[in-house]
Structure 1
Amino acid sequence: MKKQNLLNVMAVVLLLFSSCTSEQERMENRLKKFIAGYEKIIIPLYREMALTSWNANITGKDEDLVISEKASFEFSKVYSDAAAFNDLKEIKESGAVKDPLLARQLDLLYDAYLGNQIDTSLISQRLKMETEISRKYLNFRAKVNGKDLSDNEVENILRNSRNIRELKDAWEGHKMIGPVVEKDIIALVKHRNLIATLLGFSNFHEMSLKLSGQDPSEVTAVLDELDNLTRDGFAQLKSDIDNYFSKLYKIRISELRPWHYQNRYFQEAPDIYPVDFDKYYADQDPVKLAAAFYDGIGLNVDAILAKSDLYEKPGKNQHAFCTDIDREGDVRTLNNIRPDSYWMNTILHELGHGVYSYYNDRILPFTLRDAAHSFTTEAIANMFGRLARDPLWMQKMGTITREEAAVISENAHKSLRLEMLVFSRWVQVMYRFEKSMYENSDQDLNRLWWDMVEKYQLLSKPDGRNLPDWATKIHIALYPCYYHNYLLGELLASQLYGYIEANITDNLSLAGEKTVGTYLKEKVFMPGARYPWNEMIEKATGEKLTAKYYARQFVE
């Protein structure tokens, strides 16, 4: 009898195991079939969207913007398919998909579809609103003393002029884009919130973070930690900055206003230390320098540069970005390069994005041929962008002598520390402003903006000013709820650099070290989106994301 009972139990176990195996096989095959159909549709739409967006950003023409909008709509519409989402939902809720690559694709696809389970007319309306705002930004030029000035020209005045009237006119001229787009942006914020609430989220900010694999409370906690880490150090440096500009402009510290800090948003460190980095690049070609550097570390970028658009032209987007057209090697960067340290940093930064995309593992499925998270590609871009003001790197690249590197080394380090702390405080403004704006878009946003600026950047609001200065920042309108990723990218950049220094090479300039490229390809680029971002970071550095390396470099 006991033997029979044992046989019965074994039979039940085998039956259950067979049933589970059968269910796993059934669901995984169902998912494979879904992915095959999905890729057949999405890959050509993705490429068309990327190409038309690229063209629209170069020409700025209304007809090209319309074409780009249509392509974006067709791409987004795929993810609004309710039947497809329900299919994914059933597969996900079964819990039967065990294959790691399939399970990861399932998670990513589920979130992508979840964010679009709304009426396609709402998506179309959102895209139209974004396109109209984009057109206004693209075509706007600041009017200063009767002249139309590009963003580059405004920045040049703010960096180099000593005429207080000219500084104020340039700053205020640039801010006039605010009233042009203010109402459009508020309407867009409300529309995005409508979409988010229909999908079960509190607001668009919460939805954006959660669907990108981030817990809003964790992100806020990291920024709170950084606020505490940087507050006192920044306040001390801000005092040094104010003393410097008070003497430079021959005015009292109490008279200093935002146009005295050398850029439009005080998001970049002013040049208060006697290192004129621009002069070292005045006779250099930033593109050639960047290409030589990347080739030296085993990450050749010739194919990227061959398809890129690198210099200023009328109607063109005045900013910079990198785009992966097809996840098959067609990677491009748009820039407006001039021979100065800003654009040296920018081209190194954008090509950092570029190599991350270009050196992906093309054996991976299309969905996984992407960064682990948007901020992990920012980390690579930031790590390389920092080198533009590193005397050791500049020496290795032949832009300065060993003797000159020694002369500027101390002030260069101070300058980088200042840059990191200034940027850290600026991100506090952006993150907390957007979070609050999406929580309550009916509040006084002009006041909210300046409350944040005064608290985190310690800038004084111009007397009596009540204009939508927040609306002048294009990211708030067109790249929403993303800015904190730049700062998370800085944290990871320091963590990766710390690992490379400890384990890969003692050449702190990284120049000529092909082992650096090999490490990044194998541990960061080729894994793609195979792992959640913190798992990838732990595999690459031995630790999950931490602020300690950033603090070690710039705070302690």
Structure 2
Amino acid sequence: MRFEIILFSILILLLIISSCEKRKEEIKTKNQLISYLDSLELKYENACVQMGSANWNLYSGSGKADLDQAKQQFSEIFLNKSIQKLIEEWRARSSSLADDTLSRRLELWWRCFLGGQIYSDSIIAVKENNLQKKITNFKFKYYDETITLAEINNRLRKEKNPKIRQKLWNVVSQLSAEAKDDLIELVKLRNERAKSLGFYNFYSLSLYLQQIDEEWLIKTLNSLEEQTNRKFQEFIDASKKKYRVKIIYPWDFDAIIYNWASISDTHFPKDSIFHILHKFHDNIGFKTDSLPIKELIRNIPFGGLNIGIKIPDDSRFILNPIDGIRFYQVAFHEYGHALQVVNTKIKYPILKGYEWIPGASCGAYSEGIAELQAQFVTDPEWLKRYTNATQDEIDKYIATKSFGEIYALRKTLKNFFFEYEMYKAPDQDLDSLEKAMFKKYLLVDIPNKTPHRFAASIWYTMYPCYYQNYILSEMIASQLYEVIVNKFGEKRIDNPDVSSWITSSLYANGEMEEWYIRIKNASGKSLETGAYLRRLNVIE
């Protein structure tokens, strides 16, 4: 009986191999190729749906989160050398196909096979999944009590005692100590696989797959650091004077900014967020009642998270219950992601912009058009219409909010350059590197005995090499928001044509064009720092 089972298994395997070879031989025409890609993309989309569902279950707590099984479906595609060879052969002939859509599909498939080989690597996948679960399920302790990240963030903003702020800030180090060795091992594994594909390291590969020019990126980020350095130093000096302290530490920033550039949390009630979110978007033309978007508030290791389960039929997002205007900004940002998902019109799964396989989309673009929605929340016209804030409160907030925005930029620069340097040399003293990054970008020293925090960031695990996308997204959102202001003027917060412009210019065509072409077509110019620096009041 056992022999018969083995023989049957061998026969099935031979049939599969024979079928693959036959299919490869049969794909000799353009129409055959289209039919083959259509079938392959159905399998790809099924894998995306399963991965999205597994991640939703993990963070929402609504079901079993089988990340390993979800990644196995991707492995069956992206570790298949026969499919990869077919894609490479037809991509090399794409210029002769006279079909822009087909050529684009082949291009993204080719990129996804580069990224998918690492994403689907069984050793890397297991380590990623285990570390992701460790971070997600970690229980922080403040003295003898359990405390969540949202509670830490809320208390840091309002706590007046600097010693208590320091203790709260250091709580995150509990997770970093647990995750550090696993993270370093993961970085090394990713680097090894990237080098085997001909890239300097995993970060260089990641930027290539998103079509972000590395030299341009570093030059742009260094320019932003230089142009905001003086104003940020002035903010620190003014804060020292205002609070009568000689030294500012990193755990002081949230409280300082809350007092410098705050608008009362009472104007942003948590229990009204979805009502206000829907009311505003209805006013600019999105029919929110008919959109397949699910919303949830729950403690997660992010400010918020949107998952496009199945594009365009199912998008879901979770908000971490932080306080104040930041909660509304995150909500609008995540809703922006969801709007992109449900308003994507392209029918081919590889062009829909699923986030799972590196090479399928550019994170900077999706973050940028999501952040475009968050720009409305700090617009004085929006604040006047959708909150109970007085005009004096709004004017004060608008005049001082750039302090917090510059801090957020420089904090993200710190996170980006830490990770960028970590991938260059993962065996270096990363604790010292982290302290050096705090000094360079936040202009503060950390006491020597302060424990490290870097490995607690879930971004380094789940969304590696991603922090630059948040900075580029601010540039994108600022540039596009200037277009909206110029195009719609004072009617920008209640003109139904706003949604039509956003959908047709930014959502509908998915990944048919490179991200930078879409930005240029929508704004009339290539992406630059000007609009962002104007928003920060660094230039006029």
> Which TM class, normalised by the smaller chain length?
0.7 to 0.9
1:133 is aligned to 131
Cα offset for 1:336? 2.9
The separation in 1 between residues aligned to 2:321 and 2:158, in whole angstroms, is 18
SS in 2 for 1:271: helix
AA in 2 matched with 1:154: I
In the alignment, is the contact (CA less than 8 A) between 1:369 and 1:528 conserved in 2? Answer: yes
- Structure 1 segment 135-534 matched on structure 2, within 5 A: 135-244=133-242, 246-247=243-244, 252-254=245-247, 256-262=248-254, 270-273=257-260, 275-282=262-269, 285-302=272-289, 307-312=294-299, 319-337=303-321, 340-362=324-346, 364-370=347-353, 373-397=362-386, 399-400=387-388, 404-405=390-391, 407-465=392-450, 467-502=451-486, 504-507=487-490, 510-534=492-516
AA in 1 matched with 2:273: P
The separation in 2 between residues aligned to 1:119 and 1:385, in whole angstroms, is 31
SS in 2 for 1:325: strand
Cα offset for 1:224? 1.8
Change (3 A) 1:378 1:433: same
The separation in 1 between residues aligned to 2:350 and 2:164, in whole angstroms, is 50
Cα offset for 1:290? 0.9
AA in 1 matched with 2:484: I
1:539 is aligned to 521
Change (3 A) 1:338 1:478: closer
- Structure 1 segment 8-27 matched on structure 2, within 5 A: none
Q: Which has the higher mean CA deviation after the structures are superposed, 28-37 or 40-49? A: 28-37
SS in 2 for 1:214: coil
- Structure 1 segment 25-36 matched on structure 2, within 5 A: 28-36=30-38
SS in 2 for 1:202: coil
AA in 1 matched with 2:230: D
Cα offset for 1:112? 0.3
Change (3 A) 1:274 1:480: closer
The separation in 1 between residues aligned to 2:105 and 2:454, in whole angstroms, is 37
Cα offset for 1:51? 1.0
SS in 2 for 1:308: strand
TM-score by length of 2: 0.88
Change (3 A) 1:60 1:518: closer
Whether 1:97 and 2:79 are equivalent positions in the alignment is no
Cα deviations by residue, 1:423-462 (Å, 9 ceiling, x for unpaired) = 2212221221111111110000111111011101112212
In the alignment, is the contact (CA less than 8 A) between 2:158 and 2:258 conserved in 1? Answer: no
In the alignment, is the contact (CA less than 8 A) between 2:91 and 2:106 conserved in 1? Answer: yes
The separation in 2 between residues aligned to 1:136 and 1:433, in whole angstroms, is 22
Cα offset for 1:26? 5.8
Change (3 A) 1:304 1:442: farther
% of aligned pairs identical? 24
TM-score by length of 1: 0.85
SS in 1 for 2:489: coil
Aligned-residue RMSD, C-alpha: 2.3
Change (3 A) 1:146 1:521: same
SS in 1 for 2:297: coil
Cα deviations by residue, 1:346-395 (Å, 9 ceiling, x for unpaired) = 11110011111111114x32222228632222122222223334442122
Q: Which has the higher mean CA deviation after the structures are superposed, 137-146 or 200-209? A: 137-146
Cα offset for 1:323? 1.1
1:17 is aligned to none
The separation in 1 between residues aligned to 2:232 and 2:372, in whole angstroms, is 22
1:21 is aligned to none
1:115 is aligned to 115
Cα offset for 1:107? 1.0
Change (3 A) 1:196 1:237: same
Cα offset for 1:258? 1.9
AA in 1 matched with 2:38: A
Change (3 A) 1:197 1:169: same
AA in 2 matched with 1:52: A
The separation in 2 between residues aligned to 1:329 and 1:178, in whole angstroms, is 37
Change (3 A) 1:132 1:340: same
Change (3 A) 1:141 1:90: same
In the alignment, is the contact (CA less than 8 A) between 1:322 and 1:332 conserved in 2? Answer: yes
Whether 1:58 and 2:75 are equivalent positions in the alignment is no
1:48 is aligned to 50
The separation in 2 between residues aligned to 1:420 and 1:37, in whole angstroms, is 46
AA in 2 matched with 1:530: M
Instruction: Identify unmatched segments of 5+ residues in structure 1.
Output: 1-24, 264-268
Cα deviations by residue, 1:38-91 (Å, 9 ceiling, x for unpaired) = 123212222111112211222298xx34x1222123224411211111111111
Higher relative contact order (CA 8 A, sep 6+): 2
AA in 2 matched with 1:392: E
The separation in 1 between residues aligned to 2:512 and 2:150, in whole angstroms, is 39
Cα deviations by residue, 1:182-209 (Å, 9 ceiling, x for unpaired) = 0010011011111111111111101111
Instruction: Identify unmatched segments of 5+ residues in structure 2.
Output: 1-26, 355-360
AA in 2 matched with 1:335: L
The separation in 1 between residues aligned to 2:114 and 2:153, in whole angstroms, is 41
SS in 2 for 1:148: strand
The separation in 1 between residues aligned to 2:201 and 2:289, in whole angstroms, is 43
The separation in 1 between residues aligned to 2:119 and 2:133, in whole angstroms, is 25
2:12 is aligned to none
Cα offset for 1:303? 5.0
Cα offset for 1:338? 5.5
Largest Rg, 1 or 2: 1
Cα offset for 1:153? 1.0
Change (3 A) 1:56 1:303: farther
Q: Which has the higher mean CA deviation after the structures are superposed, 299-308 or 222-231? A: 299-308
Cα deviations by residue, 1:458-478 (Å, 9 ceiling, x for unpaired) = 12212433x332112221222
